[in-house]
Structure 1
């Protein structure tokens, strides 16, 4: 799969599929995320983890535990493990509102899935 060529909506479908293939990795994860992706293929998405189930929502989540804003290029890099979220936050490539610890937890979770 070439994530660099996939449209954003297909990437989110793949995230949903991969996350729910291995629910054991999600068993202790209970959080809501809102993503605002900017750039050529922009969009707003929500991602919830509850009771071992991941759910992708087309559109943001207003009261998310953690809200992230980044470019589509940086989003792809994050998914591929080529962008450290702490460094991206410190350099302004990733904006986080809410629980910053959940942003780091999400990065670690994404590394367990090969997108």
Structure 2
């Protein structure tokens, strides 16, 4: 599965069943392998995914394509990845924790 199709699938799941993301209002940026950038914005129970840098992110996550797919499907230990350098977070780390919690609800 490609990263883009994984993000699109997640976007559909979340928009169909937005109860778990109602209070999440933030823009996340994913800096991936080979310079690929995706932004996921949450706004009052609605999720939108964009290619490239269009908005000002509050939280940026840098990781490989393989690891972002694991993050989306719930098989990625973010704490261990952060400690071993497989995941780098800039901006609001609290938002990164909220994202992980939200993703767990949609695996």
**Pick aligned residue for 1:57 from 37, 50, 54:** 50
**Pick aligned residue for 2:7 from 1, 12, 23:** 12
Deviation at 1:79, TM superposition (A): 1.6
Aligned to 2:70: 77
Q: Distance in 2 between matches of 1:107 and 1:61?
A: 23
Deviation at 1:73, TM superposition (A): 1.1
Structure 1: 5+ residue stretches without partners: 1-5
1:93 partner SS: coil
- Decide whether aligned partners of structure 1 residues 62 and 55 sit closer, same or farther in structure 2, where only a CA change above 3 A counts: closer
1:35/1:44 contact within 8 Å kept = yes
**Pick aligned residue for 1:34 from 25, 29, 32:** 29
Q: Distance in 2 between matches of 1:10 and 1:85?
A: 21
Aligned to 2:17: 22
Count of residues in Structure 1 that have an aligned counterpart in Structure 2: 107
User: Scaled by the length of structure 1, what TM-score is found?
Assistant: 0.85
Cα RMSD, aligned residues only: 1.5
Q: Distance in 1 between matches of 2:31 and 2:94?
A: 18
User: Scaled by the length of structure 2, what TM-score is found?
Assistant: 0.91
Deviation at 1:16, TM superposition (A): 1.2
Q: Give every structure 1 segment of 4 or more consecutive aligned residues whose post-TM-superposition deviation is greater than 4 Å.
A: none
**Pick aligned residue for 1:89 from 82, 101, 105:** 82
1:35/1:60 contact within 8 Å kept = no
